[in-house]
Structure 1
């Protein structure tokens, strides 16, 4: 072989295998360009003229690689090959537009393995979300019984997904980024996501390239009151007074469209505006017959700590009857004799709209806006641009640029990329058990497109047949169950149509129903610090507060079938009751528990997972299971709103294993959280056979207005009476009162309450609890005591000769009180209760209680 041939072969071999460069910038080969955005995400462009689009699109907020993303690029026998740590892309150079013959992406390291080419169809996409639940009953449209289409999400059991961004509009670099047509209209633009079953990584990658899921203001995690009703100033003041009177916290007041005038135009007999849209919805001028001095009302609401949002239907534009009309037209230098059509894509129009119409209302006291329905589907000026998507962007970005408070809008879903603008308004769902049963799945599945803050009309909006008087009244059981789901959903907001029979104020219900509704709102506020911490995690990671079970258990088929349950943050599994109860007041409900130990928050037991359990739940019970050992930060006082929060926090430490968590905090209503204006407190717990150690680390970070000290408490549910409790080595005293430096065990729920001494944030605190070696097993005891109390209460209401029944039955029903009275005899009282519990049926029979009543009594016990 000649020297020339040897040299040539060596050079050829080098061209086959040697890296050309690390792909930390786009790789261009003729008419194609590939950009490795993360090890799992590759942008793929083809342009006949080799001219590519660099501006961010409506979906993809960035076009550059994530930090430290590297890939090796080689040219092998006419093929361009790009290798990341996860994917290998091959493209036949010079072969033109992408086809199955010239482009492939593969991975052997993912599970399942990936072998993709153009034209390959996904078979198991896990869904995204829908624009609205208007007139949806369950998962079907009421009009034709067709299934609601949730579209494609980013996740698929196939292990890959392609987002086709071809032809989409792009954003400019203006202060308020504006929409523009692509300069390269003929360019194919697709982004490949390859992740196997690492769904968390896929969502994190999407957050990197499409923008993060913003953290709503802290008040948004509280309770919202909304009703389609022509409230007056006086009625709203009475409403707020009632919430205060009944000890029900409230943070957001929603005022529907009757706040403004429509000048006699009706949606029943609508007229048309200059856009051809029906009038009777749009308005910006206060209805002074209802609100004589709107500024004074808004100021008063602010003094109560409430945030106020007003409803908007913007499609009809600004018309001559509006107070702001002259200023608006003058700002545009337009002829006031010729009203202008509404056009959200017109930058000048929208600038004048904010400056002369909406900003003055904000200055009056409106906190944020509810963007409701009515605008046509697409922009007139820019066909193909979704009006919903674009309005969401403009409103949210305007509020963020104003910088006075944290950006928030309340609106319809506009499509992929709209996750950057929370909170979603799901619309007018039909009142039915089917609708309630569908909403947990709908809410969790939306996290597959990072849309993590759906807000539903809790209790449903309207009946399927409003003309039938028999169906026009609210079912208290259905409403309570819907509210319970709402307490464990991203946003808790009640709403209803303008129907005088649909009154959802808690104080309008029977006492037991009122108690269940109030307790549900208090549950929301109890767990608000945990929910807010998980909201921050959503911003950091792309994993929403409410997420499907298959995120954490992707290789278990049961996780995909369990669509009626979800994880609420990292540590709480919620399985809302979505069907009516039986004659004894129990609803039978099944929950799939993944492998591991789980703490049943209803009966106080640690149960084994890896199976589906079926249990019965009373009206005031919600199937919520905590990971064994989980630490959940909660509010010490859940009866106050976010604006009146005193800052006390209670760490709920669940039995069954060691735990690790954190509490996240910030100023609550500014944009500083996007930088470094926030604080985190690390939390750990360690269980041994007869002891527990809880450690609160010093706070890290800071934010404006941050307090310097805090009153911490620790709650440990369903445990026996301890022998010793210490904080930082100092022994605390047992006390019936809740005061710093004391502890007590509540007989009703066997919860150990430890109130720590007030402490500075810059120092750690450690709580240690010791139990006797012979402490009784209390697993499930909380549920048994609760069942006996309920059953005996029923017996007293239905059996006249209760005095003839053994005293042991009455004492069994008061086991919790006996524990409170005799804490030093805890083991003896537990043993006595178990003996009485086992003998209940015999005691009733000996007391002459008829067989049929004994059967009902057993049913009340859940037996």
Structure 2
């Protein structure tokens, strides 16, 4: 461990020499800069805990306007002290030491605890010809502790939590959303601010980022103390996450694809007839007609004769509708022609490759579809100009497919395409940030009464500021794919982007020849539905077979009832979920939380890849293997058949330092142990932290159907706890002006009292009086199975502080 115990006065300039070569280092208004071994190095402070490091060959000017970082460097108080070859720059939160002999930087806490070191002589520049421009390939190596877990780097579906001992070729793809950011269990994070194809490597040599194109090294080091703190620093740099509407947290149904407006409207009608809650329906591609009209943003398909009526019909049933839009255009579209005139179409192969829709595709009839240049502000204006004609229909959001974008039959020369900001190679990975940002920014400019909601297939650092929820791509339906979704979503969230989801049931059903008739698939779908109930968006979607609940039987059948159970559970938890989303916006929190976020000191919890916290109170342990099928024979063919003769179980680790309750039975367990829980088809292992205060909402058909005037408040004794109930108008941006209310519940375990604080704030339609039905879990067994039960105490709350003795 490196320690620096004393620091001298602030120095206005330093001139230091050493035995090998005279070096210079000087203080600037924002930090320090130096030239060491022909490398220009600058450290800029963005806050006492966040610094930007810039390195480039001496004599080669290096300036860059970041696409991800929107915060500007801040004048920060710091002290400077030289100790031998080290120049130590100290703020109230962080010590940065520059080695004047090697040019390497060491980061430590103000208490002298080592956080991260650059590898000695770890910066590397190599000449690179980028589409005729002389530039550099840039690399920086870091030295991690041997057993130091790190997390993040975006979404990779490899089933890993800790991202040690990996090599990642970071180029955006359908299933991989790369963010060149990692954070450590030691409470720091590193954001590599480069948009070109990048390789992250962690091996015996060190951990490094290496990018094909860069005029210099540009990265940010931030210290937060823990994962939440690191994420807060990252969002301070790249933007805060706005609120989504309440309805986005309900249940969503879609498929590839509804082929007429009548079919789409009938799905909503069927859910309402069955009494199964639903808040959203999604129209996938081809409502525009042929591939030559790809993404025309117009209902040219004759099966959609009256789109205004379609949207109105959905709204009349108290549901919402979003629609598929792409980042490419067919040659017969108005957008194509207008974008082509300003040179804002790129030339590489994308989807669809054929003008024919029949399978197999006829490549001798090329579609001519081309990807647009979202880096060009004029192109983003054109994109929105046509999309706005869709917006006026009353559509509630956008499904931005292929936002990485699809890049097929890749050739090296594809990256030479010119964009508004240089070669496609130079800015490749920021494509989703720019295209999602273009739509979000334009919508907010014309309408503050409806919150932006974008479902998108890819993401990059900073995208959280644009009201986007990223899904994990066109995953194949399999048990391993389901398991890999967990760590994929958690590592994605650990980059600071809090909203993520997956196609419930998996997109492609190719593994299951009998499709929905395969009992193993039905079991997989139910388990994926259980997992989906505890993700930021609960959305059923896929190809090859429809996924609506009535495709899995009828009420009274195993699969139907299990699906319905978790849709209803999702709605009962909406007060908890919506309040958690406020915590994301107001306090830089995360909804899906890797165990490192809440149990940093529990070494046994740091690399678990199949369980997580949903909010700060619920531990979710999805079932990720088949339990209720066995081989059978049908017409001399071996197939899978149902076998519910034995109830199986799953083992779950409960993190140390706190007691836990089984959500379903209220059985209490000590932390730091593994527990086995029986998992019949309709049970997911779900545990609640002692001290948790969880609001439970009413039974509804859609999220805003009933006011929260009679909430159940569950108390899980065994520790002190607090929960803040958040409420607002459920949509619009008035909350940014303070138009919302919060009520703080505080549980004192020793005194067995629940303090309900004064309501703060107000909004139109706010409840001035309501009932809270308080339930002490443990005194009523089986509280998880039932929605309503006799409360231990019922109180009337009028907004004034109350202390309830229990």
Q: TM-score, normalised by structure 2?
A: 0.75
Q: CA deviation at 1:712?
A: 2.8
Query: Are 2:803 and 1:753 aligned?
Result: no
RMSD: 3.9
Q: Supply the distance in 1 between the matched residues of 2:251 and 2:516 (Cα, whole angstroms).
A: 30
Contact 1:130 1:413 in 2 (8 A): no
Q: Supply the distance in 1 between the matched residues of 2:176 and 2:505 (Cα, whole angstroms).
A: 20
Q: Which residue of 2 aligns with 1:261?
A: 289
Q: Which residue of 2 aligns with 1:105?
A: 107
- Cα pair distance change 1:469/1:137, threshold 3 Å: farther
Q: Which residue of 1 aligns with 2:250?
A: 222
Choose from 27, 33, 36 the match for 1:29.
Answer: 33
Q: Supply the distance in 1 between the matched residues of 2:160 and 2:228 (Cα, whole angstroms).
A: 28
Q: CA deviation at 1:530?
A: 0.9
Q: Which residue of 2 aligns with 1:425?
A: 471
Q: Which residue of 1 aligns with 2:151?
A: 127
Q: CA deviation at 1:328?
A: 8.8
What are the superposed Cα offsets for residues 672-724 of structure 1, whole Å, 9 maximum, x if unpaired?
33442322111023346xx8433322210123443433343223334169xxx
SS in 2 for 1:647: coil
Choose from 19, 24, 28 the match for 2:10.
Answer: 19
What are the superposed Cα offsets for residues 801-824 of structure 1, whole Å, 9 maximum, x if unpaired?
xxxxxxxxxxxxxxxxxxxxxxxx
Q: Supply the distance in 2 between the matched residues of 1:64 and 1:531 (Cα, whole angstroms).
A: 35
Choose from 578, 590, 601 the match for 1:532.
Answer: 578
Contact 2:117 2:143 in 1 (8 A): no
Q: Supply the distance in 2 between the matched residues of 1:61 and 1:474 (Cα, whole angstroms).
A: 48
Give runs of aligned pairs for residues 171-250 of structure 1, distance below 5 A: 186-194=215-223, 198-250=226-278
Q: Supply the distance in 1 between the matched residues of 2:654 and 2:256 (Cα, whole angstroms).
A: 39
What are the superposed Cα offsets for residues 403-458 of structure 1, whole Å, 9 maximum, x if unpaired?
23112211122323333332002111111111122222221221210122112110
SS in 2 for 1:576: coil
Give runs of aligned pairs for residues 678-757 of structure 1, distance below 5 A: 678-687=740-749, 692-719=752-779, 752-753=790-791, 756=794
Q: Which residue of 2 aligns with 1:587?
A: 648
What are the superposed Cα offsets for residues 195-222 of structure 1, whole Å, 9 maximum, x if unpaired?
5x62222222112112223332221111
Q: Which residue of 2 aligns with 1:358?
A: 387
Give runs of aligned pairs for residues 661-672 of structure 1, distance below 5 A: 661-672=723-734
Q: Which residue of 2 aligns with 1:608?
A: 670
- Cα pair distance change 1:464/1:551, threshold 3 Å: same
Q: Supply the distance in 1 between the matched residues of 2:260 and 2:11 (Cα, whole angstroms).
A: 72
Contact 1:301 1:307 in 2 (8 A): yes
Q: CA deviation at 1:230?
A: 3.0
Q: CA deviation at 1:74?
A: 3.9
- Cα pair distance change 1:600/1:251, threshold 3 Å: same
Contact 1:132 1:426 in 2 (8 A): no
Q: Supply the distance in 2 between the matched residues of 1:520 and 1:236 (Cα, whole angstroms).
A: 23
Q: Supply the distance in 1 between the matched residues of 2:664 and 2:221 (Cα, whole angstroms).
A: 44
SS in 2 for 1:639: coil
Q: Supply the distance in 1 between the matched residues of 2:71 and 2:569 (Cα, whole angstroms).
A: 39
- Cα pair distance change 1:628/1:24, threshold 3 Å: farther
Query: Are 2:444 and 1:388 aligned?
Result: no
Choose from 713, 717, 730 the match for 1:655.
Answer: 717
Q: Which residue of 1 aligns with 2:210?
A: none
Give runs of aligned pairs for residues 376-525 of structure 1, distance below 5 A: 376=406, 380-381=418-419, 382=422, 383=424, 384-386=426-428, 387-402=431-446, 403-421=448-466, 422-465=468-511, 475-499=521-545, 504-505=549-550, 508-509=553-554, 511-525=557-571
Q: Supply the distance in 1 between the matched residues of 2:687 and 2:561 (Cα, whole angstroms).
A: 22
Contact 2:509 2:544 in 1 (8 A): no
Choose from 666, 684, 699 the match for 1:638.
Answer: 699
Query: Are 2:363 and 1:372 aligned?
Result: no
Q: Which residue of 2 aligns with 1:814?
A: none
- Cα pair distance change 1:280/1:88, threshold 3 Å: same
Q: Supply the distance in 2 between the matched residues of 1:700 and 1:296 (Cα, whole angstroms).
A: 41
Contact 2:149 2:606 in 1 (8 A): no
Q: Supply the distance in 2 between the matched residues of 1:559 and 1:137 (Cα, whole angstroms).
A: 15
- Cα pair distance change 1:327/1:19, threshold 3 Å: closer
What are the superposed Cα offsets for residues 261-303 of structure 1, whole Å, 9 maximum, x if unpaired?
12xx4xxxxxxxxxxxxx5753322145322211011112122
Contact 1:203 1:541 in 2 (8 A): no
Contact 1:114 1:194 in 2 (8 A): no
Choose from 80, 88, 91 the match for 1:84.
Answer: 91
Q: Supply the distance in 2 between the matched residues of 1:149 and 1:397 (Cα, whole angstroms).
A: 22
- Could you say which structure has the larger radius of gyration? 1
Q: 5+ unaligned residues in a row in structure 1: which ranges?
A: 1-14, 142-146, 170-183, 266-278, 722-744, 770-863
Give runs of aligned pairs for residues 612-631 of structure 1, distance below 5 A: 612-631=674-693
- Cα pair distance change 1:702/1:327, threshold 3 Å: farther
Q: Supply the distance in 2 between the matched residues of 1:592 and 1:423 (Cα, whole angstroms).
A: 29
Q: Supply the distance in 1 between the matched residues of 2:114 and 2:159 (Cα, whole angstroms).
A: 36
Q: CA deviation at 1:78?
A: 7.4
Query: Which structure has greater strand proportion?
Result: 2
Q: CA deviation at 1:467?
A: 6.3
- Cα pair distance change 1:705/1:428, threshold 3 Å: same
Query: Are 2:314 and 1:301 aligned?
Result: yes
Q: CA deviation at 1:511?
A: 2.1
SS in 1 for 2:742: strand
- Cα pair distance change 1:746/1:612, threshold 3 Å: closer
Q: Supply the distance in 1 between the matched residues of 2:473 and 2:250 (Cα, whole angstroms).
A: 20
Q: Supply the distance in 1 between the matched residues of 2:314 and 2:485 (Cα, whole angstroms).
A: 31
Structure 1 range deviating more: 589-598 or 708-717: 708-717
Q: Supply the distance in 1 between the matched residues of 2:97 and 2:248 (Cα, whole angstroms).
A: 47
Structure 1 range deviating more: 707-716 or 251-260: 707-716
Q: Which residue of 2 aligns with 1:801?
A: none
Q: Supply the distance in 2 between the matched residues of 1:496 and 1:569 (Cα, whole angstroms).
A: 27
Q: Supply the distance in 1 between the matched residues of 2:340 and 2:771 (Cα, whole angstroms).
A: 56
Q: Supply the distance in 1 between the matched residues of 2:369 and 2:516 (Cα, whole angstroms).
A: 46
Contact 2:42 2:54 in 1 (8 A): yes
Q: Supply the distance in 2 between the matched residues of 1:361 and 1:328 (Cα, whole angstroms).
A: 19
Q: Which residue of 2 aligns with 1:284?
A: 297
Query: Are 2:327 and 1:314 aligned?
Result: yes
Q: Which residue of 2 aligns with 1:764?
A: 801
SS in 2 for 1:257: coil
Q: CA deviation at 1:575?
A: 0.9
Structure with the bigger RCO (C-alpha within 8 Å, sep 6+) is: 2
Q: Supply the distance in 2 between the matched residues of 1:499 and 1:138 (Cα, whole angstroms).
A: 30
Q: Supply the distance in 2 between the matched residues of 1:29 and 1:217 (Cα, whole angstroms).
A: 46
Contact 1:631 1:661 in 2 (8 A): yes
Query: Are 2:404 and 1:343 aligned?
Result: no
Q: TM-score, normalised by structure 1?
A: 0.70
Q: CA deviation at 1:305?
A: 2.2
Contact 1:310 1:368 in 2 (8 A): yes
What are the superposed Cα offsets for residues 601-659 of structure 1, whole Å, 9 maximum, x if unpaired?
12221111111111212222221111113101221x13231232322332121233433
SS in 1 for 2:222: strand
